[in-house]
Amino acid sequence: MSQTPADAPHPVRVVRAADLVAADPTAGMQRSRALEVPGLWAGTVVTEPGAVSGWHHHDTNVSSLYVVRGVLRLECEGVPGHVDAHPGDFVEVPPRTVHRESNPGDEPSLAVIARAGDGVPTVNVDHAPDPHR
């Protein structure tokens, strides 16, 4: 097996958990960025048990979340009630959809996020949308 010289460019990059960077703050959740390149943002989000995030959207980006651990509860504009996602579930959040996440479980939830688009990664809003006002 051949070795790549230390100064040669690598065809792939591994971002270690310890190298994640706190990013895009929204009250009630901890987002960490693994990478951001034109058209793609990827990272994780942790929500503690009983926590409820602030209302926000992701500008022109489509967000995909994969639930690794715990329960990810989402409420969004135009839809009464909520949906719960569990380990192994994927969630799609369309562009500019005002929403918030919470964790009704008894352990921290962890989800992997991938956002496609070139908008602002997170836009926090001051008020709940209908029908959650």
* 5, pLDDT greater than 70: no
How confident is the model at residue 73, as a pLDDT?
A: 97
Answer yes or no: pTM beyond 0.95. Answer: no
User: pLDDT per residue over 77-122, tens digit each?
Assistant: 999 999 999 999 999 999 999 999 999 999 999 999 999 999 999 9
* 126, pLDDT greater than 90: yes
Average the pLDDT over 1-13 and give the result: 70
How confident is the model at residue 41, as a pLDDT?
A: 95
- The rounded distance, in Å, linking the Cα atoms of 26 and 120 is 13
Closest of 114, 101, 91, 94 to residue 44, by C-alpha? 114
